[in-house]
Amino acid sequence: MLSGVLERLGEYGDQLPRYTAPRCLLERQAVGGCDACHAICPHGAIALEEHRITIDPARCTGCGLCVQVCPSGALEYDLTPPLGSVREGGQSPDGEATLTCSQSGAGGPALTCLGRVTPAVVAAAGAWGTPLTLLHGNCTGCPVGAPDVPERLTRVVEEAQVLRQSTGRPAVVTVRPATPGDRDRAGRVSRRGAFAALFRAGRQEVAGLLPQRPLPFVDWSVPQERVPEEWRWRRRSLVPAPASDAPVVWPAPLVDEKCIDCPVCANVCPTEAITREFKPEGGARLLLDLAACTGCMACVRSCPPGAMHPQREWLPAAFDAPLLIRDSDSVM
């Protein structure tokens, strides 16, 4: 049965996540590396090599759990289909949106697995004021995802709610198992007629599956593309705009006086949120683009003198321009 399901998923959805090597903490040779994707994959599809990962397309089911746990956005799926579905749901007569697992049997817009739901999707629902229901199937023994998907969904929702604290408007989200009554939920998505072929196929496993296209390669020469789509949407989802004195939870590093002005933090940063600017008179400045920081803390773990430490909250003005976090008259 699974092979038939995956054939349909492969036809209308992108199974493999995009891997952007410069964002991978293995590629960056950060101290401690990272094995989050390898550890979470329920099908053994991800292998760790010396300074990169590989994904076995014969094993990958597209569940998205690796993307959900990647701390630096090295692994990604296109957020446009789930975000578009949530937006359309908010504009429907009942003003509500639903995303369901392809294996749940529920009607309406479906993802391969709800492991693909990320904090950005939940935070955007809150920004749009759209109540969001996430319907999962019987995850125990699921051939696509993993038994703990519901628990992981709960943690994703909690992370999104923490981000939205500064807006004063939490997202309205329900996570629950699908019931027989959910089979009749209407699909609200109509992207270029892609669903017509799915419905004609008569396969309940993938009915309503949101179509996904493979993401293009990241053009690393364009600074904006270095920031993962997940974190760009997290930033956009700070709506209503937080008050000027309302702290935004966005973990990122600061530097103390133990800094020896070496280049390690900038070298290991997976999005180049930390940059060094050399001064004409000598010395260097260390700048942090807060909106580009994913909070992976590779810089903190890799700093030779232990001069970097995480700061959890920032005032909204800190997102407006790069922050000067170190100004030194010397440089290594």
Q: For domain 248-328, which CATH number applies: 3.40.50.1980, 1.10.40.60, 3.30.70.3270, 2.40.40.20?
A: 3.30.70.3270
Domain borders along the chain are 2-206, 248-328
pLDDT value for 188 = 44
CA–CA gap between residue 76 and residue 74 (Å, rounded): 7
pLDDT value for 208 = 64
pLDDT value for 240 = 97
Angle at 207 between CA 127 and CA 103, to 5 degrees: 80
Which residues are within 8 A (CB) of 50 and not within 5 positions of it... i.e. 6 or more apart? 26
CA–CA gap between residue 30 and residue 298 (Å, rounded): 6
Phi/psi at 93 (nearest 5 deg)?
A: -55, -40
Longest distance between any two alpha carbons in the chain, whole Å: 71
pLDDT value for 49 = 87
CA–CA gap between residue 64 and residue 59 (Å, rounded): 13
> Rounded to two decimals, what is the model's pTM?
0.88
CA–CA gap between residue 164 and residue 73 (Å, rounded): 20
Other C-beta atoms closer than 10 Å to the C-beta of 269 total 27
CA–CA gap between residue 172 and residue 127 (Å, rounded): 10
pLDDT digit string, tens, across residues 26-50 = 999 999 999 999 999 999 999 998 8
Please count the CA atoms within 13 angstroms of the CA of 150 that sit on its side-chain side: 15
CA–CA gap between residue 273 and residue 265 (Å, rounded): 10
Of residues 241, 231, 237, 243, the one with CA closest to residue 290: 231
Residues of the chain with pLDDT under 50: 1-12, 188-207
pLDDT digit string, tens, across residues 72-81 = 999 999 999 9
Pairing mode, strands 132-136 and 173-177: parallel
Q: Is the dihedral of CA 197, 199, 200, 205 positive or negative?
A: positive
Strand ranges in 17-90 using DSSP code E only, listed in sequence order: 18-19, 46-48, 53-55, 75-76
Q: Is the dihedral of CA 212, 213, 216, 222 positive or negative?
A: negative
